[in-house]
Amino acid sequence: MEELSISINNIWLLVATFLVMFMQPGFAMVEAGFTRSKNTANILTKNLVDFSVGSILFWFIGYTIMYGDSIGGFIGMPGLFINDNGIGDYANKTDLMFQTVFAATAATIVSGAVAERTKFNAYIIFTVVITVFIYPISGHWKWGGGWLDQLGFLDFAGSTLVHSVGAWVGLAGAIVLGPRIGKYVKGKAKAIPGHNLTFGALGVFILWFGWFGFNAGSQLGAAGNDNTLALGHIVLTTNLAAAGGAMAALFTSWAKYKRPALSLALNGALAGLVAITAGADIVNPGGALIIGLLAGIILVFSVELFDQVFKVDDPVGAISVHGVNGAFGTIAVGLFATEGGLFYGGGASLLIAQLIGVVAVFVWAFGLGLILFKTIKATIGLRVSKRIEEEGLDVYEHGESAYN
């Protein structure tokens, strides 16, 4: 029976791994659809590089930095070239693969925030740094048994540890890069529409589908009644939050702009998914729906805030979806968790731990992101020339076009 349980857990974790890997084309379709056709090949290449480079480097060293024996609660003991044939509740190599696809997700989020104006060689450099340094170290703080874990901080599947990390690095990149040419005219934001909302919608549905593996896979088991009940609960809360986010963003945009905007509704679904990721296992279905609804509303106002007030050009809304709502969802655990949440009589201790975790990860990811992007800018250069940006990165950076 023990071997059967291990096999069931292992198979489920592999299936979840494949679902999360399938989120990569989802991210690619969203980013390509929400940007202009002249940069599509560049965007698809970046997404391919994210997963390929991330897979190699996380196996090479990133996994041990995140999950190795803790050094002062800050970083795992590095080790190289993992070839661990051990078995616990599942195969250790299966765990490596599951964590690898999470690492690739964090790197991919940055791509959207810096789209349409970044040199490809610069992009490869910061993908490497995120995968082997920024992401695994902050991930170790919780999932590797580091100082945030000891504090009592909760982030079930990575609202902060995956999504916000990628978004805060992306925010740093967008600031250092500056806006796209033509984005701001006499200080006023000008919309630069994406070329294919069909791609965007398809990408969101793929991500929604893959998110069931992202969240339910983080249960790290399927055998036994406890796991069976937990998996059903997690996929329910995940789905309700996504649906709530989509509808809240749709109706908020309808009320605010007099039109039900598809692009905002699509990002609202993603905002709901990001927000519920921290607490999918410990909020009840009603709480999940409320979190999703609030995430959709926050999304609409956050996009406008970054676009028009802060003058940060984020072509796909990655900062608002993954950063702002990743932080919101993590904090919401301190309110809506059925065990320890403020609204359930748990006091403020969990909420305080969540706030500390959100701030610490922001300082880490955004601070190192600024250093990284400014260093690249001062050395090999970060941004393409005016001519390349105006005519498109596809032909000049890659020598080919997505459309012929």
Single pTM value for the model: 0.96
Q: How far apart are CA 356 and CA 307, in angstroms?
A: 27
Q: What is the pLDDT of residues 152-181, one digit of tens each?
A: 999 999 999 999 999 999 999 999 999 999
Give dist(CA 93, CA 82) in Å, integer: 8
CA distance 340 to 346: 4
CA distance 309 to 55: 38
Give mean pLDDT, residues 96-123.
96
Residue 187 scores a pLDDT above 90: no
Is residue 113's pLDDT more than 90? yes
pLDDT in tens, 272-292: 999 999 999 999 999 999 999
**Class of residue 286 by CB neighbours under 10 A (exposed 0-12, middle 13-18, buried 19+):** exposed
The mean predicted confidence, pLDDT, of the chain is 97
Percent of the chain with pLDDT over 90: 99
- Which runs of E-coded beta strand occur in 117-246? 184-185, 188-189
Is 185 in a helix, a strand, or coil?
strand
By the 8 A CB rule, do 217 and 98 touch?
yes
* Beta bridge partners of residue 184, listed in sequence order: 189
pLDDT digits (tens, 9 = 90+) for 222-248: 999 999 999 999 999 999 999 999 999
How far, in Å, CA of 157 to CA of 167, rounded? 16
Q: Write the CA distances from 292 to 232, 242, 271, 273, integer angstroms.
A: 18, 6, 7, 7
How many beta carbons lie within 10 A of that of residue 329, not counting itself?
36
**Residue 1 — pLDDT band, cuts 50, 70, 90?**
confident
Q: 362 — phi, psi (to 5°)?
A: -60, -50
71: which strand partners?
Answer: 75
- Greatest alpha-carbon pair distance for the chain in Å reads 70
Our CA angle for 347, 353, 359, nearest 5°, is 135
Over residues 191-210, the pLDDT tens digits come to: 999 999 999 999 999 999 99
Across 130-268, the runs of DSSP E, i.e. the strands, are 184-185, 188-189
DSSP letters, 273-331, are HHHHTTTTTTS-HHHHHHHHHHHHHHHHHHHHIIIIIS----TT-HIIIIIIHHHHHHH
